[in-house]
A and B are shown apart, each in its own frame.
Chain A
Amino acid sequence: MSELPLAVSGLSVAYQGQTVLRRVDFELPAGSLMGVVGPNGAGKSTLLKACLNLIPTSSGEVRFFGRPYRDVRHRVAYIPQRESVDWDFPVRAVDVVAMGLYRQIGWFRPVRKRHLDQAHAALAKMGIAELAGRQIDQLSGGQQQRVFLARALVQGADLYLMDEPFAAVDASTERAIVEILRGLRAAGKTAVVIHHDLQSVRDYFDRVLLLNGRVIATGPVEETFTAENLQAAYQGRLVVLDRLSESGVAKAVGS
């Protein structure tokens, strides 16, 4: 059964009369880690939100595992940008992770010890078991990001959509997230990750989607992550420091 975790066809999004995404098409095979790369304002976050029905779309179709999103919510986990929530909220790290289980727990039922145990295990996977009882406003940016990732992991989803998980995190958090991504791939899971650091794309991902209002190129990293495609995506806003070699040394101005 080789159903595609994610298939997007002809997806367009307009916001206040402005077209943000124009006819986006791509397919994502199972077991792949795809980086979504593009300049600021390219519509990367918009793409994830549109896939999840969080914002209205003007046209197009999105299928998760061959079905509309509402039928397969339990197989998809979304990790929004860290700034999207109020970190001053009165909860502990473990409570936030347990929120990933609320769907499974269901209406009117309380969070029980076994749910908290699951949340603890997810935090341990992210290497921050000792922070379980910590108030979330006392976590560093990297630790908050790990809590968000743990909340996604605890859902046991098959597809993970992540909006800039590497933004402003410390080196050890970055390593921890990469480890998790590789573990997910090894387990046959799939991830779509919005990413800013062009230098690490080749290291972290096996597929890439270059986006700038429309799909510039998408496919396996080796074939797709080329100097020409990057120039097309960034339209001169890219300073290629070196000839884009195996290490992919390139910097995006203003990202």
Chain B
Amino acid sequence: MTHISLAVPEIGSSLLAAMGRLGLGDHNTRVVVFASVLLGLASGGVGVFTLLRRRALIGDALSHAMLPGIGVAFLIGSTFGDFGKNLLLLLTGALASGLLGVFTILGIRRWSRTQEDAALGIVLSVFFGLGLVLLGLVQQIGGGHAAGLESFIYGKTASITIRDAFWIAAISVPALALVLVLMKEWSLVCFDEVQARVGGLPIGMVDVVMMGAVVAVLVVGLQAVGVILMIALLVIPAAAARFWTQRVSTMVLISALIGGLSGMVGSLVSAVAEDWPSGATIVLVAASIFGFSLFAGTRRGLFARYRERQSARRQAIGEVNA
């Protein structure tokens, strides 16, 4: 540690402080890191199929559309008693309005001539705008009671309690189990839906379970990472993993590890540097890994591709000379 402290004293001492917190067994930090790692593992795992099924944008719209539901749920909760900030209530509200957003997209696409990307853009920004207004209103009305609701926008891992961590675990572990158990079916549906249908696979049900897992992870991740950045945690680890492998199973493994690592490093940094929003930090860590993979990835990274081209060229030249 000493050379780090010498080189960059502030960061070094912060790191030491972080280690100290961990070393001292700071209960809060342990809960936060545990929850972030689990969340990263799960979103990395299910994220692979969001990417392969080309549903990343739907997930984005879904997560943004969750915001107004949080405001409404708080209003309902505080009108009918003092449970405005009951997590289960808030997440149920988030889920309901997220699904409403997705159905609105499907409805616009079906009943008007609007293209899907335009429908996505409209729903995403309108729901998000509505959510911001609602949360603003709620904070005016609810005052101190509503404090902390803004963590759903940007994420605030530090506010994760042991109860929240329990919910994250209760969703993440089954989601990961689903990925393992249904990998074969999910891969087939993503690669060749027609073959899956011809073979008699109930596509609708497979899709509902797949999207259900994605949505569940999105919802429990809201508080830690925030609605804006949660989708990044789904997509970035998967996209980064793609540079390292050519097999779905390995891609799931690598993606989950990248997600977990991002969750760990991001939440630790954010715990130490108070003004680093945790969601953003976790996503930036993931993005750094993505950047590294883009260049260094052994299968599809830029460097690997460059070497491939070079060897193909040498071979061609060799053939010409021979």
Contacts and interface: CB of A to CB of B under 8 A. Distances in A.
B23 interface: no
23 contacts: A52-B198, A54-B194, A73-B199, A76-B198, A78-B195, A80-B192, A84-B194, A89-B190, A89-B191, A90-B242, A90-B251, A91-B191, A91-B246, A91-B247, A92-B247, A96-B191, A99-B191, A99-B192, A102-B184, A102-B185, A105-B184, A107-B185, A108-B181
A36 B52 CA distance: 34
Contacts of A105: 184
A86 interface: yes
B187 interface: yes
A110 interface: yes
A70 interface: yes
A142 B173 CA distance: 43
Contact of B191 (A52, A54, A85, A111): A85
Contacts of A151: 195
Interface in B145-202: 181-182, 184-185, 187-188, 190-192, 194-195, 197-201
A118 interface: no
Looking at A54, A99, A109, the one whose CB has the most chain B CB atoms below 10 A away is A99
B248 interface: yes
Given A70-B200, A110-B184, 4 more contacts: A86-B191, A91-B246, A107-B185, A111-B184
A67 to B, nearest CB: 14
A14 B191 CA distance: 28
Contacts of B251: 90
B245 interface: yes
A103 interface: yes
Interface residues of A, number: 28
Interface string A89-120: 11110011001001101011111000000000
Contacts of A73: 198-200
B297 to A, nearest CB: 12
Interface in A19-56: 52-54
A84 B195 CA distance: 10
Nearest to B245: A90
Nearest to B248: A90
B199 A102 contact: yes
A80 B194 contact: yes
Contacts of B191: 85-86, 89, 91, 96, 99
A108 B195 contact: no
A73 B251 CA distance: 31
Contacts of A109: 184
A135 interface: yes
B195 A90 contact: no
B52 A89 contact: yes
A135 B188 CA distance: 16
A99 B195 contact: yes
A52 B182 CA distance: 25
A54 to B, nearest CB: 6
B184 to A, nearest CB: 6
Nearest to A137: B246
A153 B235 CA distance: 36
A95 B197 contact: no
Given A54-B198, A78-B198, A99 B188 contact: yes
A213 B242 CA distance: 44
Interface in A164-193: none
Contacts of A99: 188, 191-192, 195
Given A85-B191, A95-B247, A108 B197 contact: no
Given A107-B185, A111-B184, A92 B195 contact: no
A27 B197 CA distance: 24
